[in-house]
């Protein structure tokens, strides 16, 4: 029997713009071909991703903060899984 593929929250992604966007692609049905990512200047594995897609309130873009697994948080603890938070209606 074949083991199931890892979920995007459990997979390891590189601490790069492409890695942050790849995590979101693995967990999304949106077209993210125009997405761009900017690293947090102080915390490894944290990225601000601009999806360049309209949000439900018809704002110009939706931004997402991505937290990648395996990189230390501000307190030095390694993140156990990938995560994100959505910033609706970002300027």
What pLDDT score was predicted for residue 57? 59
Strands 36-39 and 63-67: unpaired
Whether 36 has a pLDDT exceeding 80, the answer reads yes
Average the pLDDT over 60-87 and give the result: 89
Is the C-alpha dihedral spanning 69, 33, 62, 7 positive or negative? negative
Gap between the Cα atoms of 40 and 31, Å rounded: 24
- Tens digits of residue pLDDT in 48-61: 999 887 656 555 55
């Amino acid at each position: 029997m074949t083991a199931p593929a890892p979920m995007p929250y459990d997979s390891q992604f590189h601490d790069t713009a492409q890695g942050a966007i790849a995590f979101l692609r693995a967990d999304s049905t949106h077209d993210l071909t125009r997405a761009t990512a900017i690293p947090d200047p102080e915390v490894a594995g944290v990225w601000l991703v601009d999806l360049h897609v309209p949000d439900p309130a018809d704002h110009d873009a939706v931004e997402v903060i991505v937290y990648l697994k395996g990189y230390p948080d501000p307190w030095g603890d390694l993140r156990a899984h990938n995560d994100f938070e959505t910033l609706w209606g970002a300027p």
